[in-house]
Amino acid sequence: MNLLLTGCFTYSDEQIELVRSLGFSIYFIQQETSEIPVPASEIEAIVCNGLFLSHDIDVFSNLKFIQLTSAGFDRVPVDKVNARQIKLYNARGVYSAPMAEWALFRVLEHYKQGWFFKQEQDAGQWAKHRGLREIAGTNVAVIGAGNVGQEVAKRFQALGARTTGFDIHTDKTPGFDCMVLTGTLQEHVGEFDIVIATAPLLPSTRGIISRDILSAMKRNAMIVNIARGGLIDETAMCEILAERKDLFAALDVFETEPLAQDSPLWELDNVAISPHNSFVSDGNNYRMFDVIYNNLKNFITEH
């Protein structure tokens, strides 16, 4: 069975041999925009990230299996995949821990004024800051109560915060004290000290954090986005953050990446920017290969 691997994941020689031992003939491209090394119609399984942004899935006429190295499905023509009954897997659980730690880090960095103390250290100054805050007792909203959202909630809950999950269901969910429907976000957003976006980007979630919701945020609230930039109305966010200096935003993802140099977000003092980096961790390779290998093993066993 022919398997196409791409440079979206770095395999060791041992990992390649483990995959080959399952019975796959392996082909490889480093850049996902590169030409496929064999006729696309001969490829039956693919491990990739954004391959279908530059290659038409229709030319892969015998494709039966896709493993993504991303948690989101927004770079895949899901309708065509479902219509052709192609097995589709994501990186569920692989990046949840580092992303959850990043959300907690950004909130603690702001609450404990990490930037202030680094600046004072660089200046060789002994200066106290009397405006530090604590997470204990805060109300935290997590938009998207999936795997990443649950890991985020558990960490904030452990520090004494009350966590509320916003999703399409209200089922009891690990890490959350309360679950409510996403459609009620406008009604409730003013209750929260911290709002964290972890939801997938879907037609139903694009722009879910709207101008009205941003305007209704609690005084001195903080918003963290570690999911997808398209969840937030970025134009509205720029305008509201410029007007409301009491708000603070920690943004790891943006509508267009890299973030344009002329974006007003760069100049705002109440914004912390990182380059879509929250998922990075020294534990990802092990977890990702475990997902890839087990899904490929199950797939080839079934065929």
Active site residue 228: yes
Is the four-CA dihedral 68, 71, 76, 77 of positive or negative sign?
positive
**Could you tell me which residues come within 8 angstroms of residue 59 by beta carbon, excluding any fewer than 6 positions away?**
40, 41
Length of the chain: 303
Angstrom distances, CA of residue 153 to CA of 63, 120, 138, 269: 38, 32, 12, 27
Catalytic residue among 162, 228, 234, 255: 228
Is the four-CA dihedral 35, 36, 41, 47 of positive or negative sign?
negative
Answer for the pair 213, 185: CB distance below 8 angstroms, yes or no: yes
Active site residue 55: no
Answer for the pair 250, 222: CB distance below 8 angstroms, yes or no: yes
Find the radius of gyration of the CA atoms of the chain. 21
Catalytic residue among 257, 287, 302, 303: 257
How far apart are the two ends of the chain, measured CA to CA in Å?
9
Q: Which residues are catalytic?
A: 228, 257, 276
